[in-house]
Structure 1
Amino acid sequence: MAIPDFIRDLRADIGTKLLWLPGVSAVVLDDAGRVLLGKRVDTGGWSVIGGIPEPGEQPAETAVREVYEETAVRVVPEGVVLVEAMPPTRYPNGDMCQFLDVTLRCRAVGGEARVNDDESLAVGWFARDALPELDDYALARIKKALDAGPTWFHGMAEAEAEAQT
């Protein structure tokens, strides 16, 4: 993932200390129900498309921008899939970040899937039953998006169960 200029500026002041950041992930589906995935340069693995909002940018705007920048596919956000604080991550350069991820289900409305920037090694559409190897992060988001149930909030199932007792 490319480092936005505003984060480079912050890092100049705080060094590698933990930085709390918003993140947006997009689970993109086409009319055939296939899932759009990108093979990331930084990890070499397949994943859903995502990125960091620019200052003042709304999550849906971030999803639309990131999907197009990385894959050349145009999308329309249709719903919030989940909201979750991710565990802190330390990058090879020493930077520590913790992301609050908002995952959106998006519908593809145009464009041809292709590598469209320097963040992806490959881009492709995958049938639900033919997904490549994915980490738990991506699999959970795809499953929630395909279920099309209510928005999932981390820890709320336990809170709901406790409230009913």
Structure 2
Amino acid sequence: MATPDFVLSLRERIGNELLWIPGVTAVVLNPARTHLLVVRRADDGRWTPVTGIVDPGEEPARAAEREVAEEAGIACTALRLLDMRALPEITYPNGDRAQYLDICFLCEADDSQRPFPADGENTEALWCPVEDLPPMNDRFREQLALALEDRAEARFRR
């Protein structure tokens, strides 16, 4: 994942100290809810929905739409909040420590749009049938399940 300039600027001041960062996950489904947009990350090869960091002052739903456009080259619309959770702390190979507040949105896009790895953060981007997904971690599978339940309320943990 490319590090935003504002994070690099903060890192100049705080070094490797723990940084709390708002992030987004975009669970992008086609209108029929039969296909999920997935990307294969260039850094570790894992399959995920599109994820990213919210810029200072940016509305989180807009950040989800922007990240999809930047990473997969397609337009989507954020429909509703699905899930919010604090992710475990991460220590990167350079020693930087971060913890993300993940704000997950259900998004919709026309699956006639051809996704592609638009910004170098991913090596692949494609529509996958929700019944035949590549391996993904439990968080992403839980968030997809919430999207497919199609309940109006967002989920959060206590």
Given the two structures, how large is their TM-score scaled by the length of structure 1?
A: 0.90
1:88 counterpart residue number = 89
Displacement after TM superposition at 1:145 (Å): 1.3
Q: What is the CA–CA distance in structure 2 between the aligned matches of 1:87 and 1:96, rounded to whole Å?
A: 11
Greater mean deviation of Cα atoms: 76-85 or 29-38: 29-38
- Are 2:114 and 2:126, in contact at CA under 8 Å, matched by a contact in 1? no
Q: What is the CA–CA distance in structure 2 between the aligned matches of 1:21 and 1:78, rounded to whole Å?
A: 23
Which portions of structure 1, spanning 4 or more consecutive aligned residues, are displaced by more than 3 angstroms?
Answer: none
- Are 1:64 and 1:76, in contact at CA under 8 Å, matched by a contact in 2? yes
Greater mean deviation of Cα atoms: 7-16 or 108-117: 108-117
Identity of aligned residues (%): 38
- Map Cα deviations across residues 72-98 of structure 1 (whole Å, 9 max, x no partner): 110011110001111111111111101
1:70 counterpart residue number = 71
1:153 counterpart residue number = 156
Displacement after TM superposition at 1:36 (Å): 0.2
1:118 counterpart residue number = 120
Q: What is the CA–CA distance in structure 2 between the aligned matches of 1:43 and 1:138, rounded to whole Å?
A: 16
1:161 counterpart residue number = none
1:59 counterpart residue number = 60
Paired letter, 1:151: A
- Map Cα deviations across residues 18-74 of structure 1 (whole Å, 9 max, x no partner): 000100110000124200000001221000101011111001110110000000110
- Map Cα deviations across residues 104-138 of structure 1 (whole Å, 9 max, x no partner): 00000474211111100101111111000111121
Q: What is the CA–CA distance in structure 1 between the aligned matches of 2:140 and 2:114, rounded to whole Å?
A: 22
**Runs of 5+ unmatched residues, structure 1:** 156-165
- The alignment partner of 1:144 has SS state of helix
Aligned length: 155
More helix by share: 1
Q: 2:11 aligned with 1:44, yes or no?
A: no
Q: What is the CA–CA distance in structure 1 between the aligned matches of 2:87 and 2:142, rounded to whole Å?
A: 13
Greater mean deviation of Cα atoms: 21-30 or 131-140: 131-140
- The alignment partner of 1:130 has SS state of coil
| CA RMSD across the alignment | 1.1
1:138 counterpart residue number = 140
Higher Cα Rg, which structure: 1
Paired letter, 1:121: T
